[in-house]
Amino acid sequence: MYDLSCASITKKFGMFTAVSDVSLDIPSGSFFSILGPSGCGKTTLMRMIAGFESPTSGDIRIKGQSVVNVAPNKRAVKMVFQHLALFPMMNVGENIAYGLRCRGDAKADIPRKVARVLERVGLPGVENKQISQLSGGQKQRIAIARCMVLEPDVLLLDEPLGALDLKLREHMKIELKQLQHQFETTFLYITHDQSEALVMSDAVAVMNAGRFEQIGSPRELYDAPVSGFVAGFVGDSNCLHGKLVEVRGQEAVVELDGGGTVLGHVFDASRAGDAVEVFLRPEALAIGSGSDSIRLDGTVDSLLFNGASSRILVRTERGQLIEIADPLAASTVSQGDAVALSWRPERARIFARRHA
Amino acid sequence: MTGRDAGRLSLILLMTPFALWIGLLILLPQIGIGYVSLREKVGFNQYEYGFANYAAFFGEPIYRNTLLRTAWISILVTILALIIGFPVAYYIAKVARQRSRAALFLMCLIPLWVSDLVRAYGWIVLLRETGVISTTLVSLGVIAQPVEMLYNDITVVMGLVYTVILFMIVPLVSTLQGMDDALLEAGYNLGGSRFTVFRRIVVPYAMPGIVSGCIITFMLAAGSYLTPILLGGKNSSWFTEQIYNQFITRYNWEAGATFGVLLLGFTSFVVWAGLRLTGQSLATTVAKE
Amino acid sequence: MRTPAHLLWIYRAYVLIFFLYLVAPLVAAGAFAFNDSLFPALPWQGFTLDWFFSPNEPKLGLFHDDRLLRGLGNSVFIGVIVAVLSVIAGTCNAFLFVRKDFPFKSVLYILMVVPLVIPGVILGISILVFASMIANFADRELGLLLTWLRPGIPLVLLGQFSFLTTITSLVIAARLQKFDVSIEEAAFNLGASGLRVLMTITLPFLAPAMFSAFVVAFLVSFENFNTTLMLVGSDAPLTVTMYDRMVKVGSTPVLNAVSVVLMLGSGILALISVLAQRERTSP
């Protein structure tokens, strides 16, 4: 039994297809993210689930019941808006009570329910504060409390951390995850920030140009991307352009644009002669020579010190900058050194070139 | 909320008051005076249609001259309001300190909330033969005899400038406030003199404000009624006065409607030409207020 | 570039003289209401409130002058009704132009703004002519006597409504433009019906703008002369009554008293609307 299912959802605006044949099933109580660049159709998909847009074709089911013909104010799906959309003309208590009043809860029960949900989000006793008196993180929690007090089947979150500053954002990631555990409600989270999606989610769908590229756990997306788009979008990657010259089983040889060949593994249907991209994660690269075809020669361009995530920037002979996360080597090389980079062939992922 | 029918229904519900308002109170009445201006009474409830009223208007020098006089005084008033108002607007927007800026701007708006009638009456109290200025000058020995300062063209122009200048200053202040001081500093830095900076940077920047100020000012001056009549006296020969006379005093609606159409046509033409010359649009110019 | 001090002082003096020019006639109109004299002129004869409160001729005070009081009453009556009507119509127009899409929207928007640039006298006569045409037609063809289409308060209401609605529409539309639609969507999402969203979210948000539109409409109606003059019947509002008095009787200090009341009234209302505005900008 899934809390939320979408079956072949398509949404067209005139000639433009915003969402194309998207299907997903979200199990009860999980934290599910949709990750994609802006304009990929993720917000349209979420608005269809909330009921503000209706799909051109396909079905949306909540707890097994189709909701396509249910008005947005009758759906058991609550939404935390991008800019939170707290009601500025009401105080905190009135904001949270709004949904209860609409539902027609007994007047006597409302203050008790409001107080309890405020306690659960860790802000007891703020009922009489004005929205403008709250900090960014507090507003965030009030927006969640306003939805959770109605005990929805699914909570939708539309990039709610986007407006916060970096430090608070890092903090709220952890807090959101904890809140989700505590409420045991299914969260559907939309974001263009891959680190938010990776840190918080049980499962992530990567969306591009109206389609899902891949659905999987954060580890699967990172370690086993199925397309060049996912490999480039999830986590950091160095990307080399070239042409596939030879495929032996999974192993393949790529002739780089501008000369030289490298060895990697093909993860899609690319065949010899196709234009491809080779993705190398910074931590897959090591300084120190390997055998031919799994090495790149260059000079150290600069050292980017950032504690545990320090990087070395190496300029290859063809002038491309490559990022390397090799904490051991970072202390031994210095700017201007000639170095060789090596990797294990299976960690160089080859995909058909994207038409960007 | 959902469904195209609900959307269409609400569109119709919102469109109805708008259509009734614009249709019944603006468009049809304007067509109405156009229609009346084209007919001529030849007997009881008997009318002929044609351009006789317009021919009569252009054949009669008094009427023609009234229109020309209204036109040139309105243009003069607009120019004077710009020349007098621009330094004040510039002072409020750029020279005054933050604290006094809001107070000065509010002071500019005060006369806006006082009826034309009160303002004109105030000028009468000040300027007439037994008025404050005349009496004061006599008692100071500057002049021997009380002077009548009302009922001449200079007073009419001064009174009209007074009535309309706020509508020049307000749009000017709001455009000038948007101008970054760095623009001026860059102008001086690049070697501009005070005059070239003003002519090449400030004036072009303020152009939208100047245009909307001039249009509103001109419309208000040409359409004004109280100020020219009270300060200019019975023979101020102002165009709106002619309209009133034809309509209310002489009950000659056909002629009055003709005058109305001509005034509307004339002011619309000036506004259109002003917008055309400066490349602005009516909606952005007026709606900014 | 620093402006030399003496130029700055000349500049300041100019601005000062300008503001003196702005307030001089207002001070003159106001001050002589308190002069204990039969004429609004120098010399100053001493302070009095007779021109407001004296019950007897020759210094019949404003508050005992039946015609002026009736004019004041008419002005308030007309102002309140026309302000309410134009705020309602302005709210509808704001929703129409901010929220809806329809063919010829930009043309219709220009039509909405046009009443502001039609001279008031012409608005007045055109409505007078059109109303009379309808009334004559009804009289001749149907035998109906539509007296409300003859000069009088109903026509004054229509005439003022015709251009005040433009002002209220612009004021309210500017506020609605700033409204974040996701706040409405949030309310729907929390289970509110369309009517409930309108009553609890959208209208409360618009309320400050509707209030200042009301005040502006009332003030402009109260001081309007040009349009009103063409449409007025026997129940004249205060401005027309005052004008009549000025033309027929000549200036007497009671007119200065009327001026004081007008200035005080509009000053207080303008202040209220400024305060309301301030309240909503700094929540």
The DSSP code sequence of A291-324 is STTSEEEEEEEEEE--GGG-EEEEEETTS-EEEE
The alpha-carbon gap from A53 to the nearest alpha carbon of chain B, in Å, equals 9
Whether C14 maps to a domain, the answer reads no
pLDDT in the model for residue A9: 92
* Average pLDDT estimate for A199-228: 91
CATH number, domain A2-228, options 3.30.1130.10, 2.40.50.140, 3.40.50.880, 3.40.50.300: 3.40.50.300
Q: Is the Cβ of C250 closer than 8 Å to some Cβ of chain B?
A: no
Pairing of strands A186-191, A31-35: parallel
Residue B1 has what pLDDT?
42
CB pairs under 8 A between A and B: 7
Per-residue exposure over B119-154, b if at least 16 CB sit within 10 Å of its own CB, e if not? bbbbbbbbbbeebbbbbebeeeeeeeeeeebbbeee
Phi, psi of A239 (to 5 degrees): -125, 120
CA distance C242 to B119: 13
- In chain B, which residue's Cα lies nearest the Cα of A69? B2
What is the per-residue pLDDT for B288? 46
Instruction: Classify A163 as helix, strand or coil.
Output: coil
Residue C275's CATH number: 1.10.3720.10
Closest chain C residue by Cα to residue B164: C22
Domain boundaries, chain B: 62-287
C-alpha R_g of chain A: 24
Say whether C185 and A85 touch across the interface (CB within 8 A): yes
Distances (CA, A) of A105 to A128, B44, B88, B268, C54: 20, 74, 61, 60, 63
pLDDT of residue A31: 93
Q: Do C92 and B22 touch (CB under 8 A)?
A: no
Whether the predicted pLDDT of A253 surpasses 70: yes
Cβ of B2 and A51 within 8 Å? yes
- Among C78, C23, C86, residue whose Cα is nearest residue C216: C86
What type of residue sits at position B164? Answer: V
* Euclidean distance between the first and the last CA atom of chain B, given in angstroms as a whole number: 34
Round to whole Å and give the CA distance between C117 and B282: 10
> Residues C169-223: pLDDT tens digits?
999 999 999 898 899 999 999 988 888 999 999 999 999 889 989 988 998 898 8
Regions of chain B short of the pLDDT cut 70: 1-4, 191, 235, 281-289
Query: How far apart, in Å, are the Cα atoms of B24 and each of B21, B30, C126, C209, C227?
Result: 6, 10, 11, 26, 16
Tokens found for residue A171: 């903090």
- Cα–Cα distances (Å) from B159 to A20, A276, B245, in that order, read 69, 80, 22
Strands A154-158 and A77-80: parallel
Tens of pLDDT, residue by residue over C147-166, are 888 888 999 999 999 999 99
Determine, for residues A99 and C186 on separate chains, whether the beta-carbon distance falls below 8 Å.
no
Q: Is C18 exposed, middle or buried (0-12, 13-18, 19+ CB in 10 A)?
A: middle
Burial of B194-224, coded b for 16+ CB within 10 Å and e otherwise, reads eeebeeebbeebbebbbbbbbbbbbbbbbbb
Residue A313 — φ and ψ, nearest 5°? -100, 125
In-domain check, residue C186: yes
The shortest C-alpha distance from C255 to chain A (Å) reads 45
CA distance A344 to A329: 17
Contacts of B282 in chain C (CB under 8 A): 110, 113-114, 117
Q: How far is CA B154 from CA B76, B232, C211, in A?
A: 11, 9, 41
d(CA C272, CA C218): 13
Q: Is residue C4 part of a domain?
A: no
Helices (H) and strands (E) in chain A, counts: 9, 20
C251 chain-B contacts, CB cut-off 8 A: 121, 124-125
For residue A286, give every residue at least 6 positions away whose Cβ sits within 8 Å of its Cβ, in sequence order, or none: A324, A326, A329, A341, A342, A343
Distance between CA C264 and CA C140 in Å, rounded?
48
Report CA-CA distances (Å) from A312 to A327, A328, A330, B234.
9, 11, 7, 91
Q: What are B's interface residues with A at a Cβ cutoff of 8 A?
A: 1-2
Compute the nearest-CA separation of A324 from chain B (Å): 44
Chain B residue with minimum CA distance to C197: B1
Which of these ranges, A174-178, B155-159, C124-128, C250-254, has the smallest mean pLDDT? C250-254
Lowest mean pLDDT among A206-210, B189-193, C262-266: B189-193
- Give the class (CATH, top level) of A236-352: mainly beta
Q: Which of B25, B90, B269 is the best mutation test for C, with the most CBs of C within 10 A?
A: B25
Say which CATH topology domain B62-287 has: MetI-like fold (1.10.3720)
Give the separation between CA A265 and CA A348, rounded to whole angstroms.
6
Chains that touch B (3 or more CB pairs under 8 A): A, C
Residues of B in contact with A72 (CB under 8 A): 1-2
Q: What residues of chain A, 326 to 345, have a C-beta less than 8 Å from chain B?
A: none
Bridge partners of residue A352, in order along the sequence: A276
Residue A164, burial from CB neighbour count under 10 angstroms (0-12, 13-18, 19+): middle
Q: Which residues of A touch B3 (CB under 8 A)?
A: none
Residues 6+ apart with CB under 8 A from A134: A92, A126, A142
User: Is A91 in contact with A146 (CB distance < 8 Å)?
Assistant: no
Residue A322: pLDDT over 50: yes
Parent domain of C185: 75-281
Please state the rounded mean pLDDT for residues A87-116.
91
State the burial class of residue C169 (Cβ atoms within 10 Å of its Cβ: 0-12, 13-18, 19+). Answer: buried
Q: What is the model's pLDDT at position C80?
A: 95
Whether A52 and C188 lie within 8 Å, measured CB to CB = yes
pTM above 0.90, yes or no: no
- Which residue of A85, A88, A102 is in closest CB contact with C191? A102
Longest dimension (CA), chain C: 78
Cβ pair C185:A88 closer than 8 A? no
Contact C191 A85 (CB under 8 A): no
Say if C247 falls within a structural domain: yes
Please compute the mean of the pLDDT values over residues C99-125 and round it to a whole number. 89
Domains in chain C, number: 1
Count the Cβ atoms, other than its own, within 10 Å of residue B116: 22
Q: Can you list the positions of beta strands (E) in chain C?
A: none
Q: Across the interface, do B2 and A71 touch by the CB < 8 Å criterion?
A: yes
Q: What is the pLDDT of residue C283?
A: 38
**Pairwise CA distance, residues A254 & A260, whole Å:** 8
Q: Report the chain C residue with the minimal C-alpha distance to residue B7.
A: C100
What distance in Å separates the CA atoms of residue A338 and residue A314, rounded to the nearest whole number? 9
> Is C43 in contact with B135 (Cβ distance < 8 A)?
yes
| Cα C250 from Cα B12, distance rounded (Å) | 53
Q: Which chain A residues are within 8 Å of B1, Cβ to Cβ?
A: 71-73
Q: Is A73 on the interface with B (CB under 8 A)?
A: yes
